[in-house]
Amino acid sequence: MATETDSSKGAFSRWADSAIQNPGKVYRAMFYVAMIFFLFTTLFPFYWLLVLALTPNEAITSFGFPPVPHGFNPEAFVEVFTTVPFHLYMFNSFVLGIATTAIVLVLASLAGYVFGRLDFPGKGALMLLILAVSYFPPAAFIIPLFRLFTGNVSLLGVSSPNLFNTPFAMILPFSALFMPLSIFILSTFYGQIPDGLEDAARIEGTTRLGALFRVIMPLSAPGVATAGVLTFISVYNEFFFSFLMTSGEARSWAPIVWGILSYQGQYTQLYNLMAAASIVGVLPVAILVVVAQEKIVSGLTAGALKE
């Protein structure tokens, strides 16, 4: 009798009954669908870049969809370094990222200690004000910063320094823009360190600053790593301020995106070299994320919990 009833139902009704009786099957199906969608949206752009890089530039115009290789030209990954000094553009991005990350971690640690471990009037409002700065569009700062860093601002007869084509014209705004998120992450971690550990360190003779760098920061390693990696990746990929604060040449501290754009001229556009340079440029960040993914995940999830 039950078999006749089931056979009279439609396919969707039978699938719904099976899903209700076995919810684990539905969860597995949703997981596979989400995983396939994630892999397609994240890996397909890299596949397209690889096809572009390996295809000779003169054959790229005949591309269709989905893209398939039209030839095999691995020399493009060597030409990216001989056509323009792409290694110098990568070096510039590394220097800008490392310098900004160091500044952000030192200053954000001090601010995170204040917000995470001390109580003072207006603490919540001040934290909200700091976080609001991170939501300002970078375009709102570009004109005053450009005038400031090109020596066009005078105060009491003293002109601002001309920092155009120097790393300081990018490191300073980068540090200011990426500081609020790091302060928020570190204050959350520092606030979870038991007071007894800091008190014990101070009884041993260290100062508050010494306790911060010797006890609290080592115990908050996932948070420090998360703030550092996120800052480095953001600066490494940044282009908005770098486009306006440099002339675009490698010796002028132009970052890696300037290097990729340098393969296009007034009459020629070397798409295969641009694709090869994009793959080479993203490899260090991909390796960094793979190496630090455990710290990043634990840092982001631990920062969301309050024990």
The pLDDT of residue 106 is 92
pLDDT, mean of residues 62-74: 75
β partners of residue 158 = 155
Expressed in percent and rounded to 5, the helix, strand and coil fractions of the chain are: 75, 5, 25
Q: Give residue 127's identity as a one-letter amino acid code.
A: M
pLDDT, mean of residues 144-152: 85
> Residue 98 pLDDT more than 90?
yes
* Per-residue pLDDT tens digits for 31-55: 899 999 988 888 888 888 888 888 8
CA distance 223 to 215: 14
> Residue 139 pLDDT more than 50?
yes
pLDDT, mean of residues 195-215: 83
* Per-residue pLDDT tens digits for 101-126: 999 999 999 998 898 888 888 888 88
Residues 198, 200, 203, 207, Cα dihedral to 10°: -20
> Residue 306 pLDDT more than 50?
no
* Per-residue pLDDT tens digits for 219-264: 888 888 888 888 998 898 888 888 888 888 888 889 998 988 888 8
CA distance 169 to 188: 31
pTM of the full structure: 0.80
All residues at 6 or more sequence positions from 284 whose CB lies less than 8 Å from its CB, including other chains: 90, 94, 236
* Per-residue pLDDT tens digits for 280-304: 988 888 888 788 776 666 665 555 4
The pLDDT of residue 188 is 86
The pLDDT of residue 8 is 66
Q: Nearest 5°: CA angle at 284, between 135 and 101?
A: 45
* Per-residue pLDDT tens digits for 252-277: 889 998 988 888 877 778 888 998 99
277 burial level (CB within 10 Å; 0-12, 13-18, 19+): buried
- Tokens 């597995």 belong to 28
pLDDT, mean of residues 160-171: 88
In the chain the beta strands, taken as DSSP E runs, fall at: 154-155, 158-159
The pLDDT of residue 217 is 83
Kindly state the DSSP code that residue 160 receives in the 8-state scheme.
P
> Residue 1 pLDDT more than 50?
no
The pLDDT of residue 298 is 64
